[in-house]
Chains A and B, each alone.
Chain A
Amino acid sequence: MENIAVSVKNVTMKFNMSKEKVDNIKEYIVKLLKRQLMYTEFTALDDISFDVKKGEVFGIVGLNGSGKSTTLKIVSGILKPTKGSVQVFGTISPLIELGAGFDHDLTARENIFLNGYVLGYSKDYIKEKFDSIVEFSELEEFLDVPIKNFSSGMIARLGFAIATVVRPDILIVDEILSVGDYKFQEKCEKRIADMMAGGTTVIIVSHSIEQIQRLCDRVLWLEKGKMKELGEAEYVCGKYKNQ
């Protein structure tokens, strides 16, 4: 057990897909009386099981709507599965949406602290790492500017710098390597490569199958919420490309 970082067992995720959203008492009672209170269930994930070993780079591929992002959200604790269980051993740093938790009226300096707190860092820790965050994001001149005046690339840079300043046990990456210019992308990839070298477990979702093949040890292929393949990167990626 001790060399496992994430263990997902028989996870099923269902959403209620009602045609109209019933979100008030009045409508609820009207629909109840008319006996129209029916929900169509949508199964986003169907009986998914996999283990990610410590230090492994694990990729998830699949078309849009296959359940990749839902899987990541369940692993990082944002969603609770309808059935099944998820166990995570170690600290987790989700790079799902960069800059989630930024307040656009506050300055970059204030946002570094706010976003750090959102990720569960302590005040002293952020103070200690403040300079390296600023240096990595290359935003020294704009520290006291409210980030509503930032470009989306600048916001992404700041978000990436904050989220990766820790060396988490598990890093979750969702399509974020496509932000910023090529120079910054290289910088991001290098930082992730450094983490991998340092023994961090990484779970990556990407549409770029080349990137997955290059980076990952093992790959899970999802199709319409079901597991299609799970195995060595070469093998699964080869099959995925030839489908």
Chain B
Amino acid sequence: MTVLESSTLRLDASWVDYLLVGIYFLFVLGIGLMARRSVSSSLDFFLSGRSLPAWVTGLAFISANLGAVEIMGMSANGAALGMPTFHYYWIGAIPAMLFLAVVMMPFYYGSKVRSVPEFMHRRFGPAAHLVNAISFAVAQVLIAGVNLYLLATIVNSLLGWPIWVSTVIAAVIVLCYITLGGLSAAIYNEVLQFFVIVAALAPLTVIALDKVGGWSGLKAKMAHAGTSGQLSSWPGNSLTQYSSDVWSAVGIVLGLGFVLSFGYWTTNFVEVQRAMASKDMNSARRAPVIGSFPKMFIPFIIILPGMIAAVIVPELAKYKANGGKGGGITYNDSILLLMRDLLPNGLLGVAIAGMLAAFMAGMAANISAFNTVMSYDIWQSYVQKHKPDHFYTSFGRWATLVATIIAIGTSFFAGQYSNMMNYLQTLFGFFNAPLFATFILGMFWKKMSAAAGWTGLVAGTIAAVVMAVLSNDALGGASVGVVNLSGQGAAFVAAGAAFVVDIVVSVLVTAISRPRPESELRGLVYSLTPREDIRGERVSHWWESPTKLAGVSLLLVIILNAIFH
């Protein structure tokens, strides 16, 4: 575990690159300042969200997810594991996004639930709400740590300062961004960021493909390196690290495709809220479907560069041949190494701007979500109840500062993973998998009791943590290796355990406790919600119908799976 020493990777940025980064920040901070002073009714119009064009909400929907973690994590995964990484998109994202659009969204939009803790409170009462709020706050600080660590890697590769100095500087940058109002224009920044990221990664991919000699060149080089097995996405043993092909495919479909991804996409309200900003039910349902189209092609400009980096960047190729050891770099550096080797000054600046933007926005979103939950869901609801508004506002400012300081700590824990995806999937298993089980059960089973709500969540999370500790490396140095599972396969099993234990405990507890009166559950349980509350508007063209559009998306993703099996 050598990661806390600063990496040897340096980006040769010139003044042109810094100029391009500076221009981006002027845009973002300018919009943020104007949003805070609310100088224009046009801006209010955009920020209040409703009646945004469908393509904007669709892009904002995936952009809220296309952050730092995705760019660095998925390219690291591509470099380490090759094609099976595509499963994170075609198995692990698109089906869940379509499920959200077709099944869950009518329900969310119709019942006007604005956040997960709010649903928990109305469906299960205070105990489940408190458990969920605390678990959510912890998750946000841990994920903020991941973002901060990755942001610090970029600062480190630019300026060459030690990683802990870079981390503190990165934290200060994020605090400035939040204070100067960058977050109040989140929907603007996310859509803008999407275009800058594509403008950076698309040419990187083209240049890299050219350099490696096209698809056939990549195949030849990977065969030469002895990793041609990574050129097919099924059964994906490199991803799960299961020796059996059948179990590997089962693990991918059930662990990643069902529990983790459905849990992530249907309960992640950072994304869901983007869709809920739409003007009517149909637009809200279409947002995830529209987002699914760019989403299915994004892996080509993220995973492919990672795979190419692993054969054409000499240090990385050596690192991979050594089984992931030595050389002062990790898989997380793949995309930065490729940028260093291939992008001329100028394009390099565009790429740095896109990356910095993504990391900053991602961490700022984590911190502000933490802040909201801490101030209102925890402090105002349970600790100091009847204070004036400004008390909670100033409490929120302190919460922001404290969260940033804690994130510096959690970023050092995150730094011990050479492939960030392993850590993230483990975290999602802890927090999203039990939540998804409780959500689905509570939504479709009206008898489920209030006590079952919180006991299920607690038991599910404990099951996932125990599983991760027992595995070889899912929880880094804290894992003891009793169960012989490692990598993302361990995370899939932990998520599966959380899901199953949550359901079993919920059913058992419901059997011995009293269900809530049905009158309180209207709009919260499927069978008790009148159909007219969740029916969409009539449409005049097939492409305006969320269900038909979702069908097209599903067909496309099946074709992609077949081509790149």
Whether A and B are associated in the same complex: the answer reads no
